[in-house]
Copies of this chain bind each other. A is one copy, B any other.
Amino acid sequence: MIIQLTPNCSPAKRQTIESAMASSGMTVSPVDTQFRNYLIGLGGKEFDIRAIGCLAGVDDIHFVDDAYQLVSRMWKTNTTTVDLGDGVQIGPNEWTLMAGPCSIEGEEQIVAVADKLVEQGIRIMRGGVYKPRTSPYAYRGGGLDFLKLWYKHCRERGLKIVSEVMDVRQIDEMAPYVDIFQVGTRNAQNFNLLDALGKVDRAVMLKRGMSGTIDELLQAAEYVFSAGNEKIILCERGIRTFETAYRNTMDMNAIAILKDKSHLPVIADPSHGIGLRKYVPQLALASLLAGADGIIIETHPQPEKSISDAQQTIGFQELEKLVAKMKRLKAADVV
């Protein structure tokens, strides 16, 4: 059960509501975010919801019988818009495109990509400065110095930044330079990281775990929300299956279902979803018809020379074609 408190609900009123919930056998978890205050009640015996709904300080009350609560569409029927400021939003009817290299490699690369994004009307640049690598001997990213450099160029061009955070200790140092913290597939159930991201007022994009269920992704989002941060974006990036003809299995079903079960916006990542450059644009378009609110895509001035993920990174020409097709597709009005 979700109780949304009135904006200025006094501690005394709040206490009265909590007591009423507890006396119905519920376990009560208070949730205070950058926007609102909630009380989450779990378990408990059946009772007349109006007995609590009529209490002072209760703005809204809902039963939610999913495993997750605050991220459920049972409670909030409109899709959430995550606002990054300066007119950059992720949400319904936006078809947000985020693009950029796998790894931030240096100033020349940053400028080349950033200029291309501006030219194409793209407002969010992706890139990695902390890279999760299977082998400890592989390149692990340019770190904070590269992030600051990248930030400077994005700021100058009005671009927003999405970048992966791997460790609780990186949050504070990255926060001034990042608009969206990305949580990678390997940290999809790193609950301490999720909790910590709930305490910072930055958007968080959660990638689905390699073998994470739809339910687990939504529960990960519930971690962030219940720790205090409502600015959450879900990301489908392919799952691990038996097929070896490609890198991951892009799960379009998940996009459709996530959109239906949750009010959070869903971004598709076809670059990781198939892992082969040639097929990325067609899967990007397909994702939008499956229901995605946007796309995140790897692009590079010289894709084959990318430090990482070269196989799945597209060039600028393919990016331009994709942007043009997205416009024509939008105009067709079939979603």
Contact = CB atoms under 8 A, between A and B. Distances in A.
Contact of A242 (B192, B240, B279): B240
A192 B42 CA distance: 34
Contacts of A240: 211, 242
Nearest to A189: B186
Contact of A191 (B166, B168, B188): B166
A227 B135 CA distance: 12
Nearest to A210: B211
Given A42-B137, A223-B136, A211 B256 contact: no
A117 interface: no
Nearest to A194: B136
Given A249-B251, A253-B246, A132 B191 contact: yes
Interface string A181-211: 0000011111110110000000000000111
A199 to B, nearest CB: 13
Interface residues of A, number: 78
A325 B333 CA distance: 8
A40 B187 contact: no
- Most chain B CB neighbours (cut-off 10 Å) among A69, A239, A241: A241
Given A260-B278, A328-B333, A334-B285, A239 B243 contact: yes
Contacts of A213: 242-245
B286 A252 contact: yes
Interface string A104-135: 00000000000000000000000000001111
A12 interface: no
Contact of A166 (B192, B226, B287): B192
B241 A257 contact: no
A274 B257 CA distance: 10
Contacts of A68: 135
A187 B184 CA distance: 12
A274 B245 contact: no
Nearest to A40: B137
Nearest to A170: B192
A136 B195 CA distance: 9
A135 B67 contact: yes
Interface in A282-296: 282-283, 285-291
B325 A329 contact: no
Interface of A: 27, 29, 40, 42, 67-69, 132-137, 166-169, 186-192, 194-195, 209-211, 213-216, 219, 222-223, 226-227, 238-246, 249-254, 256-257, 260, 273-274, 276, 278-279, 282-283, 285-291, 325, 328-329, 331-335
Given A256-B282, A257-B279, 16 more contacts: A68-B135, A136-B222, A167-B168, A168-B169, A187-B190, A213-B244, A243-B253, A250-B253, A252-B283, A253-B283, A283-B290, A286-B286, A286-B287, A289-B289, A329-B332, A329-B334
5 tightest A-B contacts by CB?
A211-B211, A332-B332, A186-B189, A167-B192, A286-B289
